[in-house]
Amino acid sequence: MIKNYYQILKVPRDASPDQIKRAAQSKAAEITEAYNILKDPKQRDLHDATLDEFDRRVRFIKQRNHLIYALIPLIGYFLMAVFIYYVPLELLHHIAETSVKEGTTINLIDKMTAILESYIPFIAVLLVAIGGLVAIWRFIWIRGEDPLP
């Protein structure tokens, strides 16, 4: 198998000899530091404990994010339900009160049908937008990135 020495030193293919030398020295310094830490049992145990704590925190953050991403569509659907049911009912209540004050009669079923027909395109767009956001967040989460700061 062919080794890519540019990749090992993390330098571009057009790197100057000086850049290559600095990268190699940096890499050698990292390797020396790693060796010095891992050869001493006390320092190695401390390093292992630090890594374990870091892994525990990463797992916690991923679990938290998973919970957040699970709650986002629920919150969106709850807000949509409130908007779909509460707003038209409040509007109908206002229309009924107004018509009673004016002494006219109205057909609430016709008014409700008209209101809901005007809401249907908005509701469809809202559902698609929420579904799209959830899909994007899930995709980013699966890739291991955190979309929320």
Mean pLDDT of all residues in 117-137: 74
What are the structure tokens assigned to 60, written together? 């916690």
Q: Residue 147 corresponds to which amino acid?
A: P
Mean pLDDT of all residues in 104-113: 69
Mean pLDDT of all residues in 43-57: 87
The Cα–Cα gap between 120 and 25 comes to: 65
Each domain of the chain, given as residue ranges in start order, spans 15-142
Q: Residue 19 has what pLDDT?
A: 93
pLDDT tens readout for residues 52-62: 888 888 777 77
Do 119 and 84 contact (CB within 8 A), yes or no? yes
Judge whether residue 12 has pLDDT over 70: yes
Residue identified by tokens 């006219």 is: 104
The Cα–Cα gap between 134 and 70 comes to: 9
**At 124, is the secondary structure helix, strand, or coil?**
helix
Q: Please provide the average confidence, as pLDDT, over all residues in the chain.
A: 77
